[in-house]
């Protein structure tokens, strides 16, 4: 009798990826039904090239690149690459940890669409990409200081820019947050609103015949 538990298809695929990338000594894991790899920053170009070209992988679509900020960590930033294999119908997350102001090799040579993704990560988090052909800000305004998605980015004391129709030009003005802070209880609106009648609730008590004038 064989007591060995069956291996899931995702686990089989993880083992295959580890075999393909064994020279890079990547960490791997499965969490919430999703497969992730952690690569060293210096090996990200080689890792993505292998994942793209190896017949057992064929991750030929770079969906996006995003960042995450962990200020209390020595290697403060995560740079995360989301890949898609159309041939094998698989998704993969490849992650690297990098310190502040430490350049990450650009992967534009592997996936040309990384151009804008890397510019956005640089703009929002300040992660530099070595070898990028045109590393400029892409979302913030010219001359903007700081990186808005860092956890320590101040929310006050800066200016915002907009086009003024009356003056027919771009104007700068202090940042305004017109929406008051709101607390959320995370309940369903139908469970959380007790004793309050919403617009249209009264119609629910009207018989169908009354609504249609008795025509059914």
**What is the pTM for the complete model shown?**
0.71
Q: Is the pLDDT of residue 1 over 50?
A: no
The DSSP result for 119-180, as a single string, is HHHHHHH---EET-S----SSSPTT--S-TTSTT--SSS-EEEEEETTTTEEEEEE----SP
Q: Which CATH superfamily is domain 9-211 in?
A: NADH:ubiquinone oxidoreductase Nqo5 subunit (3.30.460.80)
The pairing of beta strand 90-98 with beta strand 159-164:
unpaired
How does pLDDT run across 178-212, given as a tens digit for each residue? 666 666 666 655 555 556 665 665 655 555 555 55
pLDDT tier at 153, thresholds 50, 70, 90: confident
31-67: per-residue pLDDT in tens?
A: 888 888 999 999 999 999 999 999 988 999 999 999 9
174 or 204: which leads in pLDDT: 174
Residue 7 pLDDT level (bands cut at 50, 70, 90): confident
Environment class of residue 181 by beta-carbon count within 10 Å: exposed (0-12), middle (13-18) or buried (19+)? exposed
Backbone CA torsion sign across 149, 127, 39, 80: positive
Q: Hey, where are the domains in the chain?
A: 9-211
Classified as helix, coil or strand, 31 is strand
Rounded average pLDDT over 135-145: 86
Mean pLDDT of 163-183: 78
Mean predicted confidence (pLDDT) in 89-104: 93
Answer for the pair 107, 50: CB distance below 8 angstroms, yes or no.
Answer: no
In the predicted model, is pLDDT for residue 100 greater than 60? yes
The sign one gets for the Cα dihedral 86, 87, 93, 96 is negative
Q: Answer with the residue of higher pLDDT: 35 or 5.
A: 35
Q: How many CB atoms lie within 10 A of CB 139?
A: 11
What are phi and psi for residue 40, nearest 5 degrees? -70, 145
pLDDT given at position 185: 60
């Amino acid at each position: 009798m064989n007591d060995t538990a069956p291996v899931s298809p995702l686990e089989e695929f993880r083992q295959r990826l580890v075999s393909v990338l064994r020279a890079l000594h990547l960490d791997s894991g499965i969490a919430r039904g999703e497969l992730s790899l952690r690569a060293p920053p210096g090996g990200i170009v080689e890792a993505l090239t292998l994942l793209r070209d190896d017949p057992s992988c064929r991750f030929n679509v770079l969906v996006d690149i995003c960042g995450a900020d962990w200020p209390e960590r020595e290697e403060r930033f995560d740079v995360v690459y989301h890949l898609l294999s159309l041939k094998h119908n698989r998704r993969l997350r490849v992650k690297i940890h990098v310190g502040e102001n430490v350049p990450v090799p650009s992967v534009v040579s592997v996936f040309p669409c990384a151009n804008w993704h890397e510019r956005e990560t640089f703009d929002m988090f300040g992660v530099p990409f070595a070898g990028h052909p045109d590393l400029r800000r892409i979302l913030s305004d010219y001359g903007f200081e700081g990186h808005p998605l860092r956890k320590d980015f101040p929310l006050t004391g800066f200016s915002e820019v907009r086009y003024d129709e009356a003056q027919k030009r771009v104007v700068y003005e202090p940042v305004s947050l017109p929406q008051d802070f709101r607390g959320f209880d995370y309940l369903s609106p139908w469970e959380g609103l007790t004793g309050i009648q919403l617009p249209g609730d009264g119609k629910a008590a009207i018989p169908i015949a009354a609504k249609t004038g008795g025509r059914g």
